[in-house]
């Protein structure tokens, strides 16, 4: 008999399992249909001995000290600012667009943030309140930079014209007037020193926690007794798709190992306009691993079809409306807590999903048990 059945061994499931087992001293069963823990953050050593992330590159970054301190109970860190280059017009340029991007691209000699701002002011388009992704970008950096840096990348990633995508999709990408070439400016940035999977195995290492892998929760319902359920799988699947399927983007990864120390200058290079892939990641730059060989991964974006991994919820109004129908059903269930990127049909960064799980524990679970 378990107090909780937790579906999914990713961040949502593992954080809640750890909190419930340790703080409430309750018995928890975590099930995942995959053959491993850590959800989409899973990393492993490939056949060439290189530590790679199976479901696409995961760079941890946060300003949330509480989240950072919590995860630090289970790992040390390799701090590393994430820096990305974009291949435009045959050159590797810094992204987010900054002073150096403009100088290198246009052969300018801008030297102060004021000069850079004056450049942006000269090219930006007055769109009023930006209504979509295209307007969001051109209202900041104008048409040319939009076409060179954003349009192709967004089209590859979503197969939707940026005019038809919510403004919020590109609003997350900053532009800089100085020379700061960090992709994120968060205080804490890096990767777990010994990898994500190692961090998750420490989180789940508690006598009150049992883990069953390669198990769909639907196959054990009725066979295992439990009190409440915490569900971090897809919300539409929970309700047997009764209102229809929520659409997702999927990814295809092409890995290649080279008999040389390094392949490219940075851990991530984006390709907005050339080739079919969106980006190439070289893992050793992020992990600091030493090896005479190196593995790179090319990433291709595609619509998720039957049997494919679901990666990104597609941010369109009608999808959100469909999600709301499922959410209304979920709200009627007292004994199931829905939590996570698939259950909430929402893109969360890792720190956000940890913060959400910690908040759920504090607000919903620890109170329930004090009553
Ligand atoms: C390509 C990509 C790159 C990313 N990069 C970053 C990054 O650089 N930085 C960052 O902060 N965030 C990044 N993220 C976001 C990060 O992956 C998520 O925040 C995190 O995975 C969410 O955790 P979760 O527990 O909600 O979901 P998941 O990690 O997906 O865990 C859910 C688990 O539930 C299991 N499950 C589903 N259905 C069932 C079922 N029926 N029975 C049993 N188990 C089931 C799944 O197998 C899965 O393991 C990235 C995401 C993607 C897609």
**CA of 62, closest atom in ligand 1:** 11
- Bridge pairing between strands 248-258 and 84-88: unpaired
- Quickly tell me which residue has 């961090």 as its tokens: 199
Q: What is the pLDDT of residues 40-52, one digit of tens each?
A: 999 999 999 999 9
Where does residue 365 rank: exposed (0-12), middle (13-18), buried (19+ CB within 10 A)?
buried
Is the CB of residue 338 less than 8 Å from the CB of residue 239? no
CA atoms within 13 A on the CB side of 95: 24
Place domain 2-37+204-243+314-370 in its CATH homologous superfamily. Answer: NAD(P)-binding Rossmann-like Domain (3.40.50.720)
Q: How far is the CA of 117 from the centre of ligand 1 (A)?
A: 38
Cis upstream peptide for 96 (omega within 30°)? yes
In the chain, domain spans: 2-37+204-243+314-370, 84-171
CB of residue 58 inside a 6 A radius of ligand 1: yes
User: For a pocket test of ligand 1, which of 9, 215, 336, 341 has the largest count of ligand atoms closer than 8 A to its C-beta?
Assistant: 341
Measuring CA to CA, which residue among 71, 2, 5, 78 is closest to residue 229?
5
Are residues 34 and 49 in contact, defined by beta-carbon separation less than 8 angstroms? no
Q: Best substitution site from 18, 64, 182, 350 to test ligand 1's pocket, by max atoms within 8 Å of Cβ?
A: 350
- Give CA–CA dist 144/238, Å, rounded: 45
Q: Is 151 in the pocket of ligand 1 (CB under 6 A)?
A: no
171 vs 292, higher pLDDT:
292
pLDDT at 3 over 50: yes
43 lines ligand 1 (CB under 6 A): no
> What share of the chain has pLDDT > 70, as a percent?
98
Can you tell me the distance from the alpha carbon of 364 to that of 366, in angstroms, rounded to the nearest whole number?
6
Q: In which band, very low, low, confident or very high, does the pLDDT at 87 lie, cut at 50, 70 and 90?
A: very high
Report whether residue 348 contacts ligand 1, using a CB cutoff of 6 Å.
yes
Distance 168 CA to ligand 1 centre (A): 21
pLDDT at residue 360 tops 60: yes
- Count of Cβ atoms closer than 10 Å to residue 236 Cβ: 23
Q: Using CA positions, which residue lies closest to atom 21 of ligand 1?
A: 40
Q: Is 233 in the pocket of ligand 1 (CB under 6 A)?
A: yes
Q: Is the dihedral of CA 188, 39, 246, 229 positive or negative?
A: negative
Instruction: Please list the alpha-helical segments (H only) found in 206-311.
Output: 235-238, 283-287
Q: Which atom of ligand 1 is nearest to the CA of 340?
A: 26
Instruction: Determine the distance separating the centroid of ligand 1 and the alpha carbon of 38, expressed in angstroms.
Output: 8
Q: What is the DSSP secondary structure assignment for residue 162, as one 8-state letter?
A: G
The phi-psi region of residue 149 (left if phi > 0; otherwise alpha if psi is between -120 and 50; otherwise beta) is: alpha
Q: Is 32 in the pocket of ligand 1 (CB under 6 A)?
A: yes
Q: 368 vs 316, which has greater pLDDT?
A: 316
Nearest residue (CA) to ligand 1, atom 42: 216
Mean pLDDT of all residues belonging to the chain? 95
Q: How many angstroms from the chain centroid is the CA of residue 148?
A: 24
What is the per-residue pLDDT for 371? Answer: 41
User: Contact at 8 Å (CB) between 278 and 270?
Assistant: yes
pLDDT in tens, 114-156: 999 999 999 999 999 999 999 999 999 999 999 999 999 999 9
Distance 243 CA to ligand 1 centre (A): 23
Q: Which ligand 1 atom lies nearest to the CA of residue 339?
A: 26
Give pLDDT, residue 370.
46
18 ligand 1 Cβ < 6 A: no
Residue nearest to atom 38 of ligand 1 (CA): 233
DSSP code, position 148: I
Ligand 1 center–CA 304 separation, angstroms: 15
pLDDT band at 172 (very low <50, low <70, confident <90, very high): low
How far is CA 253 from each of CA 46, 47, 279, 298, rounded to the nearest angstrom? 14, 16, 10, 6
Q: Which of 8, 199, 220, 230 has most ligand 1 atoms within 8 Å of its beta carbon, as the pocket-test mutant?
A: 8
Q: Is the CB of 15 under 6 A from ligand 1?
A: no
Q: Quote the Cα angle for 81-86-90, to 5°.
A: 140
The pLDDT confidence band at residue 316, using thresholds 50, 70 and 90, is confident
Q: To which residue do tokens 């991964």 refer?
A: 297
Crossing angle of the two packed helices 11-23 and 196-203, in degrees rounded to 10: 30
């Amino acid at each position: 008999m378990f107090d909780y059945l937790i579906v999914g061994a990713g961040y949502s499931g593992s954080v809640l399992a750890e909190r419930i087992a340790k703080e409430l001293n309750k018995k928890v069963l975590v099930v995942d249909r995959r053959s491993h823990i850590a959800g989409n953050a899973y990393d492993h050593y490939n056949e060439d001995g290189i530590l790679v992330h199976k479901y696409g590159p995961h760079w941890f970054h946060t300003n949330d000290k509480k989240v950072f301190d919590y995860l630090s109970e289970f790992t040390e860190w390799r701090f590393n600012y994430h820096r990305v280059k974009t291949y435009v017009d045959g050159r590797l340029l810094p992204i987010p667009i900054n002073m150096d991007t403009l100088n290198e691209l246009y052969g300018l000699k801008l030297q102060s943030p004021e000069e850079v701002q004056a450049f942006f002011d000269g090219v930006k388009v007055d769109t009023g309140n930006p209504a979509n992704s295209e307007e969001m970008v051109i209202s900041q950096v104008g048409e040319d930079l939009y076409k060179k840096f954003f349009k192709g990348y967004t089209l590859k990633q979503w197969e939707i014209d940026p005019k038809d995508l919510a403004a919020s999709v590109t609003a997350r990408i900053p532009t800089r007037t100085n020379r700061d070439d960090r992709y994120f400016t968060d205080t804490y940035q890096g990767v777990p020193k010994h990898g994500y999977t190692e961090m998750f195995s420490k989180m789940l290492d508690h006598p009150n926690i049992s883990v069953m892998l390669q198990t769909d929760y639907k196959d054990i319902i009725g066979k295992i007794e439990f009190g409440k359920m915490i569900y971090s799988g897809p919300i539409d699947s929970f309700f047997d798709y009764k209102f229809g399927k929520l659409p997702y983007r999927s990814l295809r990864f092409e890995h290649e190992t080279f008999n040389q120390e390094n392949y490219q200058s940075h851990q991530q290079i984006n390709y907005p306009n050339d080739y079919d892939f969106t980006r190439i990641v070289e893992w050793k730059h992020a992990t600091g691993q030493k090896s005479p060989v190196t593995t790179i991964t090319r990433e291709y974006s595609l619509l998720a079809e039957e049997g494919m991994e679901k990666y990104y919820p597609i941010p369109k109004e009608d999808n959100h409306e469909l999600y709301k129908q499922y959410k209304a059903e979920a709200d009627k269930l007292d004994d199931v807590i829905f939590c996570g990127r698939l259950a909430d049909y929402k893109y969360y960064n890792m720190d956000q999903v940890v913060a959400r799980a910690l908040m759920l524990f504090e607000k919903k679970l620890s109170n329930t048990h004090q009553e």
